[in-house]
Amino acid sequence: MSNEQGRVAVITGAASGIGRGLAEHAAGLGMQLVLADVDGPGLQTLCAQLQGQGAQAIAQVTDVSDVTQVERLRDVVLAHFQRVDLLFNNAGVMQTGYSWEISHEQWQRMLAINLQGTINGIRSFVPLLLKQGHPAQVINTASLAGLLSSPLMAPYNVTKQAVVALSETLQFELSMLGAQVSVSVLCPGPVASEIMASNQARDQAGTAFSAVLDDSIRQGMTPRALAAQVFAALAEQRFWIFPHKDFKPALELRLRSILEETNPQFQMIDVQGDTHAAR
């Protein structure tokens, strides 16, 4: 029997992309799953697929930007499985364009889903994880954009760097308490997904850039390949999860710029990884 058998994983943004890959991998390990997404039909399709393969999985349509819905998600988990072992705060959206041309509503949407959604997950679930009295893990999906800034991606850069800071802070706090709850932050490069469908670019620069970015993402690492790396890292309780490695010279350049107080320079990176199409 797998060591993961019977453990409960909660995954937001589960209907597609990274979330779907995590769900499929967790099901293969024998975990019990609570899958959340705003895409109700996509969520039900995935849930039915996993149930057909023998997995214990339930679907809960959830807008992570709405704290009431996230609290309801927690209550559904408790009603069905009475415990949580892994919480994946994974839901996210994209917005491209010049910083000053992105509308107030677009900025607020990005902050509400990418950042507040993670905050809502932490506030709703961490008290439960602490109260349970057994080991548990919180995994927040950030991005390489959580470590490196790129032009025409200001809301994504801002929210993902905030998720990294939040994850580090949460790890420090749980360590202070001697809690059995550990934290990981997932910072992938391109992963084959439909995230660009969430982009609301209206200006010419944002629209043109999004087409290039969409192509890069679609040719990225498959969600299943990424999920395998994530679960291997979780088995070692690693905080930093970097499925793509080729970004490190660019990060070193940024760190040198900070330490030497020189003006930042944007450097394109060619991130390598599993480049098969999504399955």
Helix axes 116-132, 154-177, angle to 10 degrees: 20
User: Which residues neighbour 127 within 8 Å (Cβ) at sequence distance 6 or greater?
Assistant: none
Could you tell me where the DSSP H helices lie in 53-114?
67-81, 104-110
* Known catalytic membership, residue 98: no
Instruction: Determine which one of 81, 88, 125, 156 is catalytic.
Output: 156
Per the CB < 8 A criterion, the answer to whether 135 and 86 are in contact is: no
Ordered by where they begin, the domains of the chain are 8-260 (3.40.50.720)
Calpha distance 56→75 (Å, rounded) = 17
Beta carbons within 10 angstroms of residue 100's beta carbon: 6
> Hey, what amino acid is at 216?
S
Look up the pTM and report it.
0.93
User: Which residues neighbour 233 within 8 Å (Cβ) at sequence distance 6 or greater?
Assistant: 184, 241
Per the CB < 8 A criterion, the answer to whether 194 and 229 are in contact is: no
The model's pLDDT over 199-241, given as tens digits with 9 standing for 90+, comes to: 998 877 778 888 888 889 999 999 999 999 999 999 999 999 9
Pairwise pLDDT comparison (216 vs 10), residue with the higher score: 10
Pairwise pLDDT comparison (29 vs 1), residue with the higher score: 29
The model's pLDDT over 159-182, given as tens digits with 9 standing for 90+, comes to: 999 999 999 999 999 999 999 999
Counting residues of the chain whose pLDDT is more than 70, the rounded percentage is: 95
